Structures are given as structure tokens and as C-alpha cells.
């Protein structure tokens, strides 16, 4: 009987030690957001707007938008906002990646070294 009690206590001790050494999964990671070095924005009553910002970690963005009247599929005038802008950021290799874009009634269009190019069609 004494041997059984000793064996049970030994198993409990081993199990307790094993549980104590396990690190909890999903520990929170605290990330401090980069400081904003510059931030500008303007909004006009006619719908025009512009904004730009720059952060301490090298991220830059600027954008301008303006209303534009176009014809819809029923040939009726409607107003859409056309947008032009760019953003840039440093890559892990230290290169600055820049993307220029515009958006209008035809959709969103972006160009930059990181944006895949459409292969020319063969005829």
C-alpha cells in the first residue's frame, strides 16, 4: 500500500512539473505603431479632397479625389469620384516600393514593381 501511495505521488509530481514548463499558446504580442511625421488633409464643399501622410518607418501616401460627371448605362448623367494617388514603403531588403494608382468609372488601376504585369497576348 505504501508503494502505491509513493507511485501515485511520484506521478502527480511528474505531471505537475510537465504542466509548469508548458508555455501558453497565443501570448499577446504588443506592437507600437509608428509615429506619424506629417499628415495633411483637405475637404472641399464641391467634393474635391486631398490627403497625405508620412510615418517614421518610411511609409508615405498621398491621394487626391474629385467629382466627375459621366453617363451611366442608361445614358443618364451621374457623378463619380475620380481618385489618383501613390503609396510607398520600405521592403525588408531596404528598397523603397512605390505604387501609383487611379480609380474612376472604369475601376481601380495600380502600377508598380510589386504589381504583376499582364502578359501580352499572342496572335
pLDDT in tens, 57-109: 999 999 999 999 998 889 999 999 999 999 999 999 999 999 999 999 889 99
At residue 15 the predicted structure's pLDDT band, cuts being 50, 70 and 90, is low
**Residues contacting residue 80 through CB under 8 Å, at least 6 positions apart:** 67, 68, 70, 104, 105
Contact (Cβ atoms closer than 8 angstroms) between residue 3 and residue 9 = no
Confirm whether 4 is domain-assigned.
Answer: no
- How many distinct structural domains can be found in the chain? 1
At residue 25 the predicted structure's pLDDT band, cuts being 50, 70 and 90, is confident
Confirm whether 65 is domain-assigned.
Answer: yes
* Terminal Cα-to-Cα distance of the chain (whole angstroms): 90
User: What is the H or E stretch that residue 10 is in?
Assistant: helix 2-20
- The predicted pLDDT at position 24 comes to 63
pTM over 0.75: no
The percent of residues above 70 in pLDDT, for the chain, comes to 80
At residue 28 the predicted structure's pLDDT band, cuts being 50, 70 and 90, is confident
pLDDT in tens, 68-78: 999 888 999 99
User: Per-residue pLDDT averaged across 44-50, rounded?
Assistant: 95
Confirm whether 99 is domain-assigned.
Answer: yes
What length is written for the chain?
A: 123
pLDDT over 70 at 12, yes or no: no
Q: Whose CA is closest to 61, among 78, 43, 82, 37? A: 37
Confirm whether 55 is domain-assigned.
Answer: yes
Confirm whether 117 is domain-assigned.
Answer: no
Domain that holds residue 107: 36-112
Amino acid at each position: 500500500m505504501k508503494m502505491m501511495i509513493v507511485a501515485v505521488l511520484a506521478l502527480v509530481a511528474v505531471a505537475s512539473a510537465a504542466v509548469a514548463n508548458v508555455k501558453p499558446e497565443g501570448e499577446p504580442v504588443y506592437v507600437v505603431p509608428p509615429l506619424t511625421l506629417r499628415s495633411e488633409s483637405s475637404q472641399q464643399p464641391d467634393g474635391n479632397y486631398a490627403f497625405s501622410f508620412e510615418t517614421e518607418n518610411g511609409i508615405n501616401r498621398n491621394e487626391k479625389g474629385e467629382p466627375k460627371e459621366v453617363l451611366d448605362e442608361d445614358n443618364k448623367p451621374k457623378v463619380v469620384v475620380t481618385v489618383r494617388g501613390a503609396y510607398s514603403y520600405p521592403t525588408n531588403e531596404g528598397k523603397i516600393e512605390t505604387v501609383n494608382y487611379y480609380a474612376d468609372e472604369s475601376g481601380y488601376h495600380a502600377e508598380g514593381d510589386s504589381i504583376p504585369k499582364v502578359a501580352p497576348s499572342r496572335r
